[in-house]
A = this chain, B = another copy of it.
Amino acid sequence: MSGLFKQLEAADDGARVDLESILSEIKFNADGLVPAIAQAADSGKVLMLAWMNIDALRETIQSGRVCYFSRSRNALWRKGETSGHTQLLVSLRIDCDGDTILLEVEQAGPACHTNRPSCFYLHLKGDSVEVRAGV
């Protein structure tokens, strides 16, 4: 674990470090990406997980609109740019070891490309998996 995140493990509530120092120590993977979880600010529902590179992360912070990195298109993915299903950033958190982002968002329309509210619509039920969009 990097020095800064290790140091913050023992910090008291209210301790602050500057954003640039944190950004410089985020642990992007070999492809330069970290997973970002989007959670609905109103319902607490987990909507999706996508990936961010440093540019996507900076753009999200600066613009207040969530921008991911599309692994399939190998390009920045401004969520909702074509669909209209944007995500307004409500809060952004980083985890203890600096390798995951948690976004609280105001989701416009469905988060999922299937037009379901959340991407997590495949539910384990015993020895089956059931499609249930509404929960």
Q: How far is the CB of A60 from chain B (nearest CB, A)?
A: 10
- Could you say which of B8, B39, B124 contacts A46, with CB atoms under 8 Å apart? B39
On chain A, the number of residues with a Cβ less than 8 Å from chain B's Cβ atoms is 53
- Could you say which of B13, B96, B102, B131 contacts A11, with CB atoms under 8 Å apart? B131
**A130 is an interface residue with CB less than 8 A from chain B:** yes
Closest partner residue, chain B, to A130 (CB atom)? B16
Residues of B with C-beta under 8 A to A28: none
Which 3 pairs between the two chains have the least Cβ-Cβ distance?
A44-B44, A93-B120, A92-B124
A-B contact pairs, 5 of them (CB 8 A): A10-B114, A17-B128, A18-B128, A37-B46, A95-B119
